[in-house]
Each structure stands twice: as C-alpha cells, then as structure tokens.
Structure 1
C-alpha cells in the first residue's frame, strides 16, 4: 500500500504570529482519516513570526522532536534545559510523567520555520528527558542520515519507541534507498523541493504512507529535504 497525503490537503491554522499546517489531526483540526500513522502522531509545519513563540505549557507521555528548517528556536524547560536550535539541529524532548517548556523566535526580522513531530512512546510514565544533536548538511547530502532511533545508533538522538527517523538532501542524480522489514511502516514527509519516492512525484509538504513495501526508493530530487520514518505498526 502506498497512499499520498497531499500537502495542500493538510489542516491549517493561522494565529497571526503562528502559521501552522497539520499532517494529522491536531488542536482544532480533526480528520478521522488522519489521526496518525503507527506511533507517529503529529507533524506540524510551523512558521513563528519574529519576536513571538509558544509560552510555557505542559506535555505528558510523548516523544517530541523539533527539526528547524530556517531561523532559530530558543528552548527552555522545567528540567533546566535552555538552548537555541538552528538548521541541522535535532531536539528530542521526552515528556514522560510531565514537563513544561517554551519555544521562542527571538529574532527581530526573521521567521522561524520548523517541523514539530510527536511520536507516542512505547511505555508511559517514564522520566522526562532531553537531548539535542547537530547533523551537518554533508551528513545528509545524497543519503539518509539517521537522526533518531531507539538505541541512539550512528550518533542519533534516542527515542523511547521502536521507531527510526532519517533525513536526506537530494538533487539531480542523487538517490538513496531504505529497506523496510516485514511488518514495518514507512512514512515520507517532503519538507522542501521535489522528489520521487517509489515512483510517486512529491512536492514540498506532500507525504507518503507505505505499508507492505519492502523498500523505499528516493530519486530525482530538486532542492529536496526529506524526512523518512521507519515505524512499527
């Protein structure tokens, strides 16, 4: 099964300071056909206006991954962490038994464009945790770099779920493939550019859901920045 989730059909919210597109049901956007995929529960493409951000708020029992495409995002949380994440950085916050945090764009003249990803953990009630790592463009050029995994392999951040997240940059003849074990799900989200995945042409914002496919094949990219998820059912 290969199913297209067209970027143009995503949910949309415009709060003035925040413009967000929802791949899955979130907040006031509800679509029973798009409640998640395996443990992948949220992919929000957010644009935060200069000098604005998300005030302090709480979460529980969710693995929250932030991936910055443009600009900077300042993070503070109740665990005592404070940092600024930029393009190439991957941040993982395990909400566990409960955490409060804020995210702000402190720039005066630049919008922050980032992806907010939620993955349900394999176990509820774990201790909250935080991790952040940088992945340079060279690590993603023409290949899929492992960003997040259950064992922190290849320098990735650690997820409390049997899920793996990859990112790649593709242009021209650059191509890559990813094997999917029997019973696994694949989800491809194209953040920028154009890309062909298993023969399907994607534009920015599009996604593919894959089940029963043994392999993902990525090719014919033009300015493509793509996230690929290998997920349990």
Structure 2
C-alpha cells in the first residue's frame, strides 16, 4: 500500500438539496450507488447536512450498518422501531447499529416558528458481523472535548477499549473528535486509512497547508501529521485498519 495524502476541498463534495435539506456528501450517498465502490477505508457515508426547523427524515429503514451522528448545531430528535428515542445535541455522541433491520426517524428538534437550523454530520461504516440484533447508544462527551485533545468518541478497536465513550460493531474503526483553541495541535493517528474533516474553523495541516470548514483529507498508509488550529476549530477524524468490501 502506497502512502498517500489527498486533500478534498469542501467545494468538491457532491451537493444535493430539496426544499428543507442541504446535503454536502464526501461520498455519493443520494441515488443508486454501491456505497463500497466509493468508500475510503471503511467510511461509506460522510454527509454534512443542514435541516430546516420542523423538518427532517421521516421513518425509513436501515440494515447491517453502523451509523454515527455528530451534531454541530441544533438538536436531532431520534425515534426508532426498537423503542429508542433521544435528543441529540452538540457534545452528545450517538451510535445506531441497524443489525437485522431497524426503522427510525430523524428530525430537527426546533419547530418551524423557532427558526433554529440543524447542522449535523452523519457517518456510516459496515459492521464486522451481519445479522446482529439492532442496538443504540448515546453518551455525553462535552467535558472531554474541552481539553484541546483528540478524543476517541466511538470505537470497536481493542486498543481503545475502556477509553472510547461508545462502542461500534467494527473492530477496525475509531471515530475521534478534537475541539481546539487557536494555537493548539493534535496528531493524526497513523493507520492504513484515515479521514480528517474540518467541521468548523480553520487549521494548518502539516506539510499540506491551510484547511477551512468542510475541507477533508483522505490518508492512506500514513499518519503522524500535526493539525494546528489557526482559529477555534472542530476536527473529526476516522482511524481505520481495514477497507469496506463489496
């Protein structure tokens, strides 16, 4: 595997919208696509969505998918057919394992009169094992994010057992988040596959220059790069030891 660092400008993402949703997609997710054909490592879907007040995704079904939801602004109202419900806000990590099949809805928790948009990143990876029972977990990581450090928010990797806030059903993946004050840095984990996404602010990515909101970096067989905040910033990083298989 050849070491590679590929910077993906925010404007190069796929763009889809309707009357209440703007979806900026790092990998094509709207339409008749085989997600594995466009994945980087295990990351099948990485959508940055803005949802109008009072709107959202009505009840729909998923199967054999690990779904991570990370809210940047506003509140997601989650309800599913397994009886789970939640109000997901910034600093609260949510994981839904679809397993044998689950139906759920996700909506902006603000009513139309409140005028508060929902800004959310949703990410999908495949599970290690298909046909498992559906499951759900949410955990508040707000306090850990105040340390100007990389926080392992969700992981199935054995080396993060007991450290990650929530578990995921894939032993080859970890989702990290860092909130950085200006001048503070983190180091990208060294892994077969990595995905760095700047959710807000501006940073300098070692040897590759400035990144702004919505920019991403796809890493193959490399890591150790310093990411330094030049303004207050929030960085989402996937560390992955394997690739998705069709």
Q: If the length of structure 2 is used for normalisation, what is the TM-score?
A: 0.88
Is it true that 1:126 corresponds to 2:100 in the alignment? Answer: no
CA distance in 2, matches of 1:31, 1:4: 23
- Deviation sequence 1:154-199 (CA, Å, 0-9, x none): 2421111110111011232211114415xx2111011111112233
Q: 1:196 aligns with which of 196, 201, 204?
A: 204
Task: Give the Å deviation of 1:121.
Answer: 1.2
2:216 matches 1:213: no
Number of residues paired by the alignment?
231
Is 1:174 aligned to 2:177, yes or no?
Answer: no
Structure 1 residue runs of 5 or longer lacking an equivalent are: none
Cα distance per residue 1:112-157 (max 9 Å; x no partner): 1000110111221111110001111553542101100115532421
Q: Deviations over 1:51-106 (max 9, x none)?
A: 11110000001100000000011000011001101010110000111000001113
**206, 225, 231: which one pairs with 2:234?**
225
Kept in 1: contact 2:99–2:130 (CA 8 A): yes
Alpha-carbon distance in 1 for matches of 2:58, 2:137:
21
Greater strand proportion = 1
Q: How does 1:87-98 map to 2 (within 5 A)?
A: 87-98=90-101
Q: Distance in 2 between matches of 1:15 and 1:122?
A: 34
Alignment of 1:42-191 (within 5 A): 42-108=45-111, 109-136=115-142, 139-150=145-156, 152-161=161-170, 162-181=172-191, 184-191=192-199
CA distance in 1, matches of 2:203, 2:32: 27
The 3-state SS of whatever aligns with 1:153 is: coil
Distance 1:163 1:31 in 2: 20
**Which sections of structure 2, spanning at least 5 residues, go unmatched?**
none
Q: Is the 8 A contact 2:145 2:177 kept in 1?
A: no
Q: What's the counterpart of residue 11 of structure 2?
A: 8
Closer/same/farther in 2, CA of residues 140 and 231 from structure 1, 3 Å limit: farther
Runs of 4+ in 1 over 6 A off after TM superposition: 29-32
